[in-house]
Structure 1
């Protein structure tokens, strides 16, 4: 997979190293010349370019990339790049970093963003996930209004012992994983549920109340 990352700061470089380690082809775009340090991630292609300049993105061949990651420290730049990547270059997948949580509402498909990653939101969600039992916790917003959400079943849940197929889920919700202790379970229709199970769903925001009802919350 070919991935272009805008912003070669600590975040961009860390993402690049991880992707290179997983055998992906990576290009790092950096506006500040003193931040262009090929030795920091030698396996990546480094390009000195402003990610908001259409001509420079054309020269970099952005249309040839499968994913664009807007990882700069400036939300305005990340939004502009996301829009250009989608509308001008037809990049299939755009992931954007949200620096200021107050701007999170802007990072949606109208700006070309498939997945918005907000560090404060993610940290808060992880804290909630660790301590919340018997309620829905939104872990991440995915594309087109779908969310990755988690529900931890109470020890006294009425679902204990019942098979997964007994869950009457709303139309736009899917159970993707059950976390049980150290086990990661790909749910099958006849798998029994237990109190304390952490259920991970992909669900439309519109059906979250129905999802709560389906698991007895």
Structure 2
């Protein structure tokens, strides 16, 4: 898979290091001081402004499978996302949100498939750590208007010992994973739920409250 990463600062380089072993990675950076080819020698490096069509055409952005807008400038990330989607038809565009106040911009209208807000994710993780028995939104998938949500069942959950198949989930909601201690469980119909289980769902906004009510009250 071909991946273009705009922004070779600490965030961009970290993403590149994670991906470069299995994918063809190109880093786009406009600051010459941040172009450190020795840091990730197996990646391709291009000096230039990722918001400039000439650079994107030169690297052949239309051939890439994923573009990651990871600069420290939200305006640049939005512009690149829009260009990648509308001018080069890149299938998957992921954008970094630096300021949570700008989150409303990072949607499908601006070419963003997935918006990643570090402050929002950190806040969600804090909530997830302290919120037992309540629904916590961890991430939004903008293109499909779906969310990754988590709920930790309290120790005295009425669902303790009951099979997953008894969860009559609302429409547009799916149980993805059960985290139990050090285990990651792909749920099957006959798996029994336990107090302390962390349940991860992909769902839409409209049914999150139904899901919360369902998990707090056994049937």
Q: Normalising TM by the smaller chain, what interval?
A: over 0.9
Matched position secondary structure for 1:38: coil
Structure 1 counterpart of 2:97? 98
* Match in the other structure for 2:29: 30
Mapped to 1, the partners of 2:115 and 2:86 lie a distance apart of: 17
Say whether residues 1:136 and 2:135 are aligned partners. Answer: yes
1:19 has 2:19 as partner: yes
Match of 2:20, SS state, is helix
- Post-superposition Cα deviations, 1:102-140, rounded to whole Å, max 9, x if no partner, equal 101111111111111111111111111111100000111
Deviation at 1:216, TM superposition (A): 2.1
SS at match of 1:122: helix
**Separation (CA, whole Å) in 2 of partners of 1:85 and 1:146:** 22
1:177 aligned counterpart, secondary structure: strand
Determine whether 1:124 maps to 2:123. yes
2-structure distance, mates of 1:166, 1:49: 55
1:38 Cα deviation from its structure 2 partner: 1.0
Match of 1:154 in 2: 154
Runs of 4+ in 1 over 6 A off after TM superposition: none
| 1:41-190 to 2 correspondences below 5 Å | 41-143=40-142, 144-190=144-190
2:189 counterpart of 1:206: no
TM-score w.r.t. structure 2 length? 0.96
* Unmatched tracts of structure 2, length 5 or more: none
| Secondary structure of the corresponding residue to residue 155 of structure 1 | coil
For 1:49 and 1:211, the matched residues in 2 are separated by 47
